[in-house]
C-alpha cells in the first residue's frame, strides 16, 4: 500500500458509495479518520510503536474487527462494521470493486457539539450528565466488562508492567527536553507505590477488579446525544494489556481528563460515589496512582507526536505534554509547608509560573495584583504613574502586609503558600523569609527571567488585551530594571533560590524549582500508600 496515496484518495467524495458532500481527514498517531458526511471511516496507519504493531494488512484487518466488537459494549448503533478498501482506476475507494487492499472501521458520525469535552468547553453541559454518564459506565463494569482471564499473579504483574513500561517509554521522549526533574519525581512515586503495595495489587487481581475495560476513557470519546443516549466510543482495541486494567485505572483516565478540562471536584466525587454505591471497589490511593499513570499516557502521546512531527516548532506539543505532566505531578508528589516568594520584573511570567507551581504543589496562591485591588475596592485597570496612586508607597506597603498575613494563615494551617509579587526590595524578601523561619518552614525565592525583546512584546500584547489584573507596562518594566541595577535586593540568609527562564513560549518548565525542592527534601511521594501484608 502506498500510504500517502490512500490518505489523499479518501479525501475524494466519490471514493465513498454514499457520496458525501465533503470529506475531512483527522490524523492520530495510529489512525486516519475520515469524516465523510454522516459517516466516519477509520483506517489504521501502518505503524509499529511500543504498544501496537499495525505493519501488516492482516493485523490492521483484525484490529478493525476488534474495534467494532469491543466498542459495541458501550455504544448503540454507532459501529456499523468493517469495510474493505479497494483500488481502482480513480484510486482507493471504500467498499469498491475488486480485492481489498486495506480495511477500515465504518461508524455513524456522532454530533461534534455533543462530545463531552465540547460541552464542557462551551458551558453547555446538560442537567444530570454526571448521573447519566456514571450509570452507563457502572452498568458496563457490572455486566459487559468481565474480569480478565488468567492467573492472578500474572494479571497483577501485567497491570504493574503497564505502569512501569509507560514511564520507561516516556523518559526517552523527554531526555533532551524540559521536565526531566518533574518526570523523575513522578517516576519515583509510581515505583514507590508498586514496591509498597504488592499485596494490594495482587488482591485486586484475585478479586476480579482487573477487567477488559475501555482503555482510553476520555471526555472526547464520550457523546451525550440529544435523545439522552450516552455513547462511549473509541476504546483500545489494538492492545489487550492496555485494555485489560483495573477498573480504577479506567475511571482515573476520565477523572484526570475532567479535571484537566476544569470540572470541579464535586462532580468527579459524585462519579466515584456512584461507582462505590454500586459495589465497585475504588481505593483512594489506587485512584491516585492510576490518575498519575493516565496523565503520563497522554504526555507520552504528545511526545510521540512531537518526535514524528516535521515542524520546527515543537512548542505546541511541549505545552500539551507540560499540562499532563503537571497534572501527574499534582497527584504524585506532596509538599510540606513552605513559603515561596516569586520575584522578577513585571511581565516575566511570575503569575503564570506561580499558578502552575501552586497547582502541582497544592499550595495556596496569593497574587499581589489581586490583593492590592481588593484592599482598595477597585476592579479593572488602575494604571498610574511610577510609584503613585494605587502603586504608591502606602498601598504597596499595605499590599505586602496583607500578603504576609495570608502567608501566616497558610503556614499555620500546615499548607505551602506562594506569594506572587515582584519582591524587588530586600526588606520585602526578609519579611517573607521571617514568616517561614518563625514556623520552622523553608523559604524559597523563585525568580523569573525572560529575554528583553520577548518581554516587551508580551507586555504590549497584555496591555492591548486588557484581561490581566496587572497594570504594569513597558515603562514600569524599564524602571524596575534600572532600579535593580542600582540597588540589588539581595537574598535572605538560608533562603533556597531557583531561577526559571520563561522565554520559551507556550509551556512552563518547573524543573528549576522542583529540583531545589527535591534536593532540600521538601517534596516527597504522595501515592506511596499504606497497606498491610494482605494489601488492605
**Residue ranges per structural domain of the chain:** 3-109, 116-322, 336-505
Question: What is the pLDDT confidence band of residue 531, given thresholds at 50, 70 and 90?
Answer: very low
- What pLDDT sits at residue 529? 52
Percentage of residues in the chain having pLDDT higher than 70: 95
Residue 114 DSSP symbol: G
The phi and psi torsions of 202 (rounded to 5 degrees) equal -70, -40
- What pLDDT sits at residue 381? 63
- What pLDDT sits at residue 338? 98
Decide if pLDDT at 505 tops 60.
yes
Place of cell 505531578: 329
Decide if pLDDT at 343 tops 80.
yes
- What pLDDT sits at residue 463? 75
- What pLDDT sits at residue 28? 87
Decide if pLDDT at 95 tops 50.
yes
Which has more confidence, 130 or 386?
130
Rounded CA-CA distance 439/475 in Å is 38
pTM of this structure: 0.84
- The whole-number average pLDDT for the span 143-154 is 91
Nine cell digits for residue 469: 489584573
Pick the CATH number of 336-505 from 3.40.50.2300, 3.40.50.170, 3.30.360.10, 3.40.50.300: 3.40.50.300
Question: What is the pLDDT confidence band of residue 232, given thresholds at 50, 70 and 90?
Answer: very high
Decide if pLDDT at 2 tops 70.
no
- What pLDDT sits at residue 1? 46
Region 116-322: CATH code: 3.90.1200.10
Decide if pLDDT at 250 tops 90.
yes
Rounded CA-CA distance 90/84 in Å is 16
Question: What is the pLDDT confidence band of residue 535, given thresholds at 50, 70 and 90?
Answer: very low
Strands (DSSP E) contained in 325-463 are 333-335, 339-343, 364-367, 417-420, 443-449
Decide if pLDDT at 533 tops 80.
no
How many other CB atoms sit within 10 Å of the CB of residue 316? 16
- What pLDDT sits at residue 139? 95
- What pLDDT sits at residue 532? 37
Exposure on the CB side of residue 61, measured as CA atoms within 13 A? 9
Asked if residues 9 and 92 have their Cβ atoms less than 8 Å apart, the reply is yes
Rounded CA-CA distance 145/139 in Å is 9
How many other CB atoms sit within 10 Å of the CB of residue 283? 19
Nine cell digits for residue 534: 494482605
Rounded CA-CA distance 312/268 in Å is 38
CA distances from 405 to 51, 390, 398, 420 (A): 52, 20, 11, 14
How many other CB atoms sit within 10 Å of the CB of residue 48? 10
CA distances from 324 to 250, 302, 413, 417, 514 (A): 17, 9, 29, 23, 16
Place of cell 508607597: 393
Percentage of residues in the chain having pLDDT higher than 90: 70
Asked if residues 209 and 276 have their Cβ atoms less than 8 Å apart, the reply is no
The phi and psi torsions of 18 (rounded to 5 degrees) equal -95, 5
CA distances from 496 to 179, 281, 368, 458 (A): 20, 43, 21, 28
- What pLDDT sits at residue 278? 96
360-378: pLDDT as tens digits: 999 999 999 899 989 988 7
The phi and psi torsions of 448 (rounded to 5 degrees) equal -105, 135
- Helix, strand or coil, per DSSP, at residue 339: strand
Asked if residues 300 and 173 have their Cβ atoms less than 8 Å apart, the reply is yes
- What pLDDT sits at residue 536? 37
Rounded CA-CA distance 65/71 in Å is 10
Nine cell digits for residue 462: 497584555
Mean pLDDT of the chain: 91
Helix or strand holding residue 98 (H, E): none
Question: What is the pLDDT confidence band of residue 383, given thresholds at 50, 70 and 90?
Answer: low
Amino acid at each position: 500500500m502506498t500510504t500517502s496515496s490512500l490518505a489523499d484518495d479518501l479525501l475524494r467524495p466519490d471514493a465513498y458509495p454514499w457520496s458525501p458532500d465533503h470529506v475531512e481527514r483527522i490524523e492520530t498517531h495510529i489512525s486516519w479518520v475520515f469524516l465523510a458526511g454522516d459517516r466516519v471511516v477509520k483506517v489504521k496507519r501502518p505503524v509499529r510503536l511500543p504498544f501496537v504493531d499495525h505493519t501488516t494488512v492482516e493485523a490492521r484487518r483484525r484490529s478493525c474487527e476488534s474495534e467494532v466488537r469491543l466498542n459495541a459494549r458501550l455504544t448503540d448503533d454507532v459501529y456499523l462494521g468493517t469495510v474493505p478498501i479497494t483500488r481502482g482506476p480513480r484510486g482507493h475507494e471504500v467498499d469498491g470493486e475488486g480485492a481489498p487492499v486495506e480495511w477500515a472501521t465504518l461508524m455513524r458520525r456522532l454530533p461534534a457539539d455533543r462530545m463531552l469535552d465540547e460541552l464542557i468547553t462551551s458551558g453547555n453541559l446538560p442537567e444530570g450528565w454526571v448521573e447519566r454518564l456514571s450509570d452507563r459506565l457502572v452498568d458496563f463494569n457490572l455486566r459487559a466488562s468481565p474480569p480478565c482471564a488468567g492467573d492472578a499473579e500474572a494479571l497483577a504483574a501485567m497491570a504493574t508492567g503497564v505502569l512501569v513500561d509507560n514511564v520507561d517509554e516516556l523518559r526517552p521522549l523527554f531526555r533532551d527536553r524540559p521536565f526531566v526533574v518533574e518526570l523523575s519525581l513522578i517516576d519515583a512515586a509510581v515505583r514507590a507505590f508498586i514496591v509498597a503495595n504488592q499485596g494490594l495489587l495482587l488482591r485486586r487481581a484475585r478479586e476480579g477488579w482487573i477487567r477488559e475495560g475501555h482503555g482510553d476513557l476520555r471526555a472526547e470519546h464520550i457523546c451525550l446525544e440529544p435523545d439522552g443516549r450516552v455513547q462511549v466510543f473509541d476504546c483500545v482495541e489494538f492492545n489487550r494489556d492496555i485494555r485489560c486494567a483495573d477498573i480504577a485505572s479506567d475511571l482515573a483516565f476520565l477523572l484526570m481528563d475532567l479535571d484537566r478540562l476544569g470540572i470541579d471536584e464535586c462532580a468527579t466525587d459524585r462519579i466515584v460515589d456512584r461507582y462505590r454505591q454500586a459495589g465497585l471497589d475504588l481505593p483512594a490511593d489506587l485512584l491516585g496512582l492510576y490518575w498519575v499513570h493516565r496523565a503520563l499516557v497522554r504526555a507520552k502521546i504528545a511526545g510521540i507526536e512531537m518526535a514524528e512531527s516535521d515542524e520546527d516548532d515543537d512548542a505546541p506539543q511541549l505545552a500539551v505534554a507540560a499540562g499532563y505532566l503537571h497534572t501527574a505531578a499534582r497527584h504524585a508528589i506532596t509538599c510540606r509547608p513552605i513559603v515561596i516568594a516569586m520575584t522578577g520584573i513585571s511581565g516575566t511570567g511570575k503569575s503564570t509560573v506561580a499558578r502552575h507551581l501552586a497547582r502541582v504543589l497544592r499550595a495556596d496562591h496569593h497574587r499581589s495584583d489581586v490583593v492590592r485591588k481588593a484592599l482598595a475596592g477597585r476592579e479593572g485597570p488602575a494604571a498610574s504613574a511610577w510609584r503613585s496612586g494605587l502603586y504608591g508607597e502606602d498601598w504597596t506597603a499595605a499590599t505586602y502586609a496583607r500578603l504576609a498575613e495570608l502567608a501566616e494563615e497558610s503556614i499555620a494551617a500546615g499548607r505551602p503558600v506562594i506569594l506572587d509579587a515582584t519582591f524587588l526590595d530586600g526588606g520585602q524578601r526578609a519579611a517573607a523569609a521571617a514568616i517561614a523561619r518563625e514556623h520552622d518552614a523553608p523559604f524559597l525565592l523563585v525568580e523569573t527571567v525572560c529575554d528583553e525583546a520577548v518581554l516587551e512584546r508580551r507586555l504590549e500584547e497584555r496591555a492591548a488585551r486588557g484581561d490581566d489584573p496587572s497594570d504594569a507596562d513597558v515603562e514600569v518594566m524599564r524602571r524596575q530594571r534600572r532600579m535593580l541595577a542600582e540597588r540589588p535586593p539581595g537574598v535572605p540568609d538560608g533562603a533556597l533560590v531557583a531561577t526559571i527562564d520563561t522565554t520559551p513560549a507556550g509551556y512552563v518548565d518547573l524543573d528549576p524549582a522542583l529540583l531545589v525542592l527535591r534536593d532540600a527534601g521538601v517534596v516527597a511521594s504522595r501515592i506511596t500508600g499504606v497497606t498491610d501484608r494482605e494489601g488492605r
